[in-house]
Structure 1
C-alpha cells in the first residue's frame, strides 16, 4: 500500500467506529476518488439482493430500513456487480452460502464479458478478489460471492485490453484487496477510463487483484461522509453492517 493510503487507513483504525472512519477522499493523477477500506477480520462484510419475501431490495434506503428492523446499522454500501433488467445477477451470486446464480466463464458482450473477469469472495474474516477461472478451479469457501468484470488488476498488472489513450469515460466503482488482506472499495468523482481507474488500484491502493463493479450506475452509501447516492433500483449490494447501539 502506498504511504498516503496506508496512513489514511491506519488513522481510521485509531478512531472510534472503525467502519465510520474508513472512507476518505483521495486523488491520483489529478483525478478524485472516494476510497473506503475495511479489515475483514474487524468489519462484517456481506452481500444483499432480496428481502425475506423475495423482492429485490434495490436501494440503500430500503436496505438501511430492513437492517434497522433487525437491530443492525448500515455503515457502508456500494453496488456490487452487473445485473439484468430484472435486477438479477449476470454471473455468479452467492449469499449466506446459498447459490442464486451460476458463474459465467465464457467471453461475451459488454464489460462483463471482457475476459478475464472476476469474483468478489467474502468470508467471515477474509475477502478476496479472484479471477473467474481460478475461482472455478479452486472452489474457495465463500459465504458471499458476486461476479463482475472486467478485472482491473491481475497479479499486479492492468487488464491487457485496457488502452492508455481510451476516450471511453464513465463514473466507475470497483474493489481490490491488498497484500495485508485489507479490502478497498473505490468510486470515481468524475468519469474516468478503465486504464486510469486500474492505475488507482495498482499504483495507489497497491492491490494485486482488483475487480470492476460497474459504471454509469455506480453508487456509494457512506453516512460518515454524508453520502447516500440515489437512483434507479439496483441489483446486488455489498455492505458493511454492525449491531446497532442499545
Structure 2
C-alpha cells in the first residue's frame, strides 16, 4: 500500500504537459563528430524495504548504473509506452496503474520511429509486432552488425541480427532489435575506436555465461568503445547490444528513480512471485 501511494504521489507531482510528436532526439551516429550536449537523467534515491536490482559503478572515470536481471528471480517482457495522452512516450505514462511492488526495473528497449514504434524486430507476449530489419541505412541502428535481445522461459540471449536470422526458428516470448552490437563473441564492434569523439548518455544490455542479463545506463557522456569495454571486461558478457543514446531511461521503484526521457519500446523486469 505504501509503495502504491508513493508511486501515485510521484506521478501526480511530476506530471507535465504533452510534448509535440516527432523524432524526440538527435541520435548520434558513430564517427568523428563533436561531443553532444546531454541532459543527465533524474536520479532520486530513497531507501525502501525492497532491495534495488541496480547499483552505481564507476568505470574508467565514468559513473554508470548497472541493473541485473536474474532468471531465477526475475522475468523479462517487452511493452510499448503510450503514444498519446498525458506524458505520452515516457516510462512514467506506462507506469500509471502498474503495481510498482512487482517491478524490479524498466528501461527503454531500443530505437523507434516518429510513431514511437520499434524500427526493428519487436516481439511482445510472443506476438511479433515488427519483423527483423536487415536493411542498410544511416544512423547507429544500421551500423552493422546490429543485434537482437530476446528470450523465452528465462533463457535470455543477445545475438547479432544475421546470426539470429540464420539460427533462431522459434518465435521468442520477447524480443527487441537495436544497434550497433557492442560486443560480438567477446570482441568489440569492429568500427569502435578505443575512446572515440562521439560521446553521449548511452544504455545497453548483455547476457553473461550464467544467463544473467545486465542492463547499463551511463550517468555521464561516454564513448562507444568505453561503454563496450565495460560489458566485455567488467561484466564478462560475450555479446552485448546498444539500446539507445540520450533517450536512455530507467524506472527503479526501489530507489524512486523515474527518468523522463521520450521512449517507445520498453523492457520490463518483474519479480517472480
TM-score normalised to the size of structure 2?
Answer: 0.76
Q: Distance in 2 between matches of 1:132 and 1:104?
A: 8
Deviation at residue 227 of structure 1 after TM alignment: 1.2
Q: Please list the CA deviations of residues 133-183 of structure 1 after superposition, one character each: whole Å capped at 9, or x if unmatched.
A: 111111254101000000000000000000124111000000000011110
Query: In the alignment, is residue 38 of structure 1 matched against residue 75 of structure 2?
Result: no
Segments of 4+ moved more than 3 angstroms: 54-57
Query: In the alignment, is residue 223 of structure 1 matched against residue 225 of structure 2?
Result: no
Closer, same or farther: CA 128–140 of 1 in aligned 2, 3 Å: farther
Deviation at residue 36 of structure 1 after TM alignment: 0.2
Q: Please list the CA deviations of residues 170-215 of structure 1 after superposition, one character each: whole Å capped at 9, or x if unmatched.
A: 0000000001111000000100010010011011001000000000
Question: Residue 236 of structure 2: SS of its match in structure 1?
Answer: coil
Could you say which residue in structure 2 is the equivalent of 1:75? 104
Question: Residue 98 of structure 2: SS of its match in structure 1?
Answer: helix
Question: Residue 221 of structure 2: SS of its match in structure 1?
Answer: coil
Query: In the alignment, is residue 63 of structure 1 matched against residue 94 of structure 2?
Result: yes
Query: In the alignment, is residue 85 of structure 1 matched against residue 77 of structure 2?
Result: no
Query: How much is the aligned-residue C-alpha RMSD, in angstroms?
Result: 2.1
Deviation at residue 243 of structure 1 after TM alignment: 7.1
Determine if contact 1:72/1:243 at 8 Å carries over to the other structure: no
Q: Distance in 2 between matches of 1:226 and 1:115?
A: 37
Q: Distance in 2 between matches of 1:229 and 1:26?
A: 18
Could you say which residue in structure 2 is the equivalent of 1:10? none
Q: Please list the CA deviations of residues 8-35 of structure 1 after superposition, one character each: whole Å capped at 9, or x if unmatched.
A: xxxxxxxx85xx4321011111111000
Question: Residue 133 of structure 1: SS of its match in structure 2?
Answer: helix
**Residues 97-108 of structure 1 correspond to what in structure 2 (within 5 A)?**
97-108=126-137
Question: Residue 237 of structure 1: SS of its match in structure 2?
Answer: strand
Question: Residue 200 of structure 1: SS of its match in structure 2?
Answer: helix
Q: Distance in 1 between matches of 2:108 and 2:145?
A: 20
Q: How many residues of Structure 1 are paired with residues of Structure 2 in the alignment?
A: 222
Query: In the alignment, is residue 144 of structure 1 matched against residue 174 of structure 2?
Result: yes
Deviation at residue 125 of structure 1 after TM alignment: 1.3
TM-score normalised to the size of structure 1?
Answer: 0.84
1:173 to 203, 216, 220: 203
Closer, same or farther: CA 138–55 of 1 in aligned 2, 3 Å: farther
Determine if contact 1:93/1:101 at 8 Å carries over to the other structure: yes
Deviation at residue 80 of structure 1 after TM alignment: 0.6
Determine if contact 1:172/1:215 at 8 Å carries over to the other structure: yes
Larger-gyration structure (1/2): 2
2:145 to 112, 116, 119: 116
Question: Residue 141 of structure 2: SS of its match in structure 1?
Answer: coil
